[in-house]
Structure 1
């Protein structure tokens, strides 16, 4: 096998066997059966029961008299009176739910909100239901996920039996985008259950979670939603043949438990080198697809190849931790570059803007790679459901802030090196803006970047050097003979504002002392500015700048600002 070859394998048979042999499906179905028996004397449409065992596990079981649903979809957005608006994101603001299932849920919304508030997620929780009751179980599990504190709570697990699909592609995308959420749903579905395949005939519906598909022949787990959709589509052929009927999941789970030990299945003749196709073929044979659909070996091979091709299609799913160590190494190299520029008395902003040495070219590549990584990171956070996205941002906030403060000044240097103006309005990329916005929104943002060691700090405002460059342009406008009076007045006002901005940043010890290096653009601006204002210019900032000994005191954190 060469370096670039990957042997893929699908462990659906093993996963199904593990779930079936655990006995959990049998236990949950017994709870559903007991609830059904208790509900027969009631006139309500929806019932639920909470059962806890000695180990602290809580099971919440749903049952409804509504044993079918209409295929109509009800659209929602993050602005509606929508209990699930928290799954919306900036890039996925709308989704649709099955009208019947949501109407039933909404009918009992007050009681379900109360149940949500009473559910203790410090202990393990399983939510279950059959048919449309399974749909309600899925929706209620989403409420628990919205309530959950990722730092201290346990994720709830939802296991449904014969539940129809409940949402469209955007609903699927919202849940799939959070890998933590998608793994919270396990759907047990018989190939012969007409309720399961009813919604798949509407192409607007999409599956989510993990599916344990089963038949009288056996079972297998499928995590690929492409595979699930394809296989559920095929089950509609069974309905056309009159093979589908109301299924008794009690008998199904008992049969699964009995067959939990994997047996050999006769599959098509597939080369052993293709482990993914071979394992897919075994899964289909275990489910009895060749017998149920009367597939010849060639037909089965074609189906396997079709599933194989879909599974191996490139799918862009950003893994934030995958390249993190590489990014840390590049940040460390920039730290070295920063220290080297300081020794040369110029500062890393101006050294990079000058681009006179081989290290500058290497740094350009570091910037490109770091920007690409964090652009993907911000895009990923924007895709996440609201709460998950907030948790995602908090988890990576420190690293993102450090990156922005280190790298954006170099990006600004390249911008002005090309002769451009007004970086903040015309050149700043969205991911820099978002990283800064998230920092301001975070309650602990004041602590990020603060240190008693002033000499080592990064300037907190990553756009500081853009302000310096614009201040240099304002000085130029004042000195240019042809500048209009209006332009000169604008330049004077701009310089007054910049002086206040710099002094305020100095008072907060929010600026790196390397701005005082003789070769820096900031010191060039100061010399031009005081030349324009004159030696008599008497402000707190001017008095600070006129005395170079103040720079050393600032570096030591010892200057006493009034």
Structure 2
């Protein structure tokens, strides 16, 4: 189906095509092509960016405009622009007439079919190759050097163009790279298991980086983060209906990635001396988006406490910022030891106690936090010394009675 229109009719054609694209968003469905002539701008910058960056939708629009249109400055993304000689030869007061786009199209076809091809030294049957040769001539390359199937430059450009067209047809599909990312996640799972056997957990192993295996994790983390940043950015640019579909499809994978990898970013953040408040100053936007997807889904991945209890020994901590809270609590303990901001600091530590106890009751934290070499256990040792034996709370009772040893 070809949808077309001139001037305001072109704007209506664009809106109608957008509606069609959203309505027929099913695999295998033939997509409409919208061709407009002298059509004014529709939507705002956000809409233009969303369409232009969506490889599937961007290829469905062709906007033709001429400098003699009634409102040439209001034209959206102009893919074909022409400065007609017939208009240039008229007096200024006669230049702003309606453009005969029928004649424009015929003239354009003649230019492409006859004028360009006639300039070639030999007939080239392949339209793609002919177009490449003409473009090379336009930038001044020797015509003799461009003709012939053996020319490596033409062959390379053909491959690039075919790959680009293929990519536009397929659109954005994160599943194509998913298997490689699954390998990276499996390697992180292995790293997590090995670190647990060393009684310190993968967060603190990565934070301290005392062996070669810790350094390899940097590569896995980087590839996973690049993948999910690209995926989140692409989904955020999608139309609402298509975006919702992708969110649902990738909710589980995105949540597991966030819970596994964000603690490593937190470790990097606090490794630099003087860094504070990761959530406000250091958290990447794509983590925020992934967490928002889960919240908007309306139900946790493991909604029942009893289910989480049964699986807690193999689970990841649900709050991917848990270790940021631990690092902040360690900073608060240091402030108390130095006699700084005592009242506000104690209040923050009590809030941290309540937060941790709530996570424990919900079986929302991994047992790894209780490993002897973990930052959480380091915090507990510091905090126990600060509050003394007379202080009591749910968390201090839980820790002092070693009930955490049964948390598995």
For the residues of structure 1 that align with 2:196 and 2:101, how far apart are their CA atoms? 77
Match of 2:293 among 438, 450, 453: 438
Q: 1:453 aligns to what SS in structure 2?
A: helix
- Please state how far the C-alpha of 1:492 moved relative to its aligned partner: 1.3
Q: Contact (CA 8 Å) 2:40, 2:72: kept in 1 or not?
A: no
Residue number among 205, 229, 253 corresponding to 2:75 in the alignment: 205
Q: Of the candidates 176, 179, 185, which is equivalent to residue 55 of structure 2?
A: 179
After TM superposition, give the deviation of residue 377 of structure 1 in Å.
Answer: 3.0
Cα distance, 1:367–1:152 mapped onto 2, change above 3 Å: closer
Q: C-alpha displacement at 1:476, in angstroms?
A: 2.3
Aligned positions of 1:341-356 closer than 5 A:
341-356=195-210
Residue 551 of structure 1 corresponds to 405
CA contact (8 A) 1:267 1:281 kept: no
Q: 1:492 to 1:130 in 2, by over 3 A?
A: closer
CA distance in 1, matches of 2:34, 2:259: 46
Partner of 1:406: 260
Instruction: Report if the CA contact (8 A) 1:374-1:431 is conserved.
Output: yes
Q: Deviations over 1:48-95 (max 9, x none)?
A: xxxxxxxxxxxxxxxxxxxxxxxxxxxxxxxxxxxxxxxxxxxxxxxx
In 2: Cα distance, 1:184 partner to 1:352 partner: 47
Q: 1:506 aligns with which of 360, 363, 375?
A: 360
The answer on 1:540 being equivalent to 2:394 is yes
Cα distance, 1:418 vs structure 2: 2.1
Taking the aligned partners of 1:331 and 1:354, their CA distance within structure 2 comes to 21
Partners of 1:460 and 1:299 in 2: CA distance: 59
- The runs of 5 or more residues in structure 1 that have no matched partner are 1-23, 26-126, 190-194, 208-224, 257-264, 285-296, 556-562
Separation (CA, whole Å) in 1 of partners of 2:89 and 2:128: 30
Aligned residue pairs, count = 365
C-alpha distance in structure 1 between counterparts of 2:9 and 2:74, whole Å: 21
Matched, 1:468 2:323: no
Aligned CA distance change for structure 1 residues 142 and 159 (closer, same or farther; 3 Å): closer
SS at 2:382 equivalent = helix
Is contact 1:164-1:198 (8 Å) kept? no
- Contact 2:333-2:383 at 8 Å conserved across structures: yes
Are 2:124 and 1:268 aligned?
A: no
CA distance in 1, matches of 2:287, 2:58: 30
Residue 508 to residue 198, structure 1, CA distance change in 2 (3 Å): farther
Deviation at 1:455, TM superposition (A): 1.1
- Tell me whether 1:166 sits opposite 2:19 in the alignment: no
1:429 and 2:278 equivalent?
A: no
CA distance in structure 1 between the aligned counterparts of 2:298 and 2:242, rounded to whole angstroms: 17
Paired residues for 1:468-507 under 5 Å: 468-480=326-338, 483-484=339-340, 487-507=341-361
Cα distance in 2 for partners of 1:513, 1:299 equals 67
Contact 1:199 1:205 in 2 (8 A): no
Does structure 1 retain, via aligned residues, the 8 Å contact 2:262–2:320?
Answer: yes
Alpha-carbon spacing, 1:524–1:155, altered in 2? closer, same or farther (3 Å) = farther
Partners in 2 of 1:145 and 1:513 — Cα distance?
48
Matching of residues 113-152 of structure 1 within 5 Å:
132-145=8-21, 148=23, 150=25
Structure 2 length-normalised TM: 0.72
Cα distance in 2 between the residues matched to 1:172 and 1:299: 30
1:137–1:158 Cα contact (<8 Å) kept: no
Match of 1:278 among 130, 136, 143: 130
Deviations 1:510-548 (A, max 9, x none): 111111111111112222223333344433323322333
Select which of 369, 377, 380 maps to 2:234.
380
Residue 233 of structure 1 is matched in structure 2 by 82
Sort the Cα spacing of 1:512 and 1:492 in 2 relative to 1 into closer, same or farther, 3 A: same
CA distance in 1, matches of 2:132, 2:73: 24
Structure 2: 5+ residue stretches without partners: 91-98, 110-116, 147-156
2: CA distance between counterparts of 1:133 and 1:202? 15
Indicate the RMSD between aligned Cα atoms, in angstroms: 4.5
For residue 488 of structure 1, report the CA deviation from its aligned partner: 1.6
d(CA) in 2 for partners of 1:448 and 1:128?
A: 50
Partner of 1:431, secondary structure, is helix
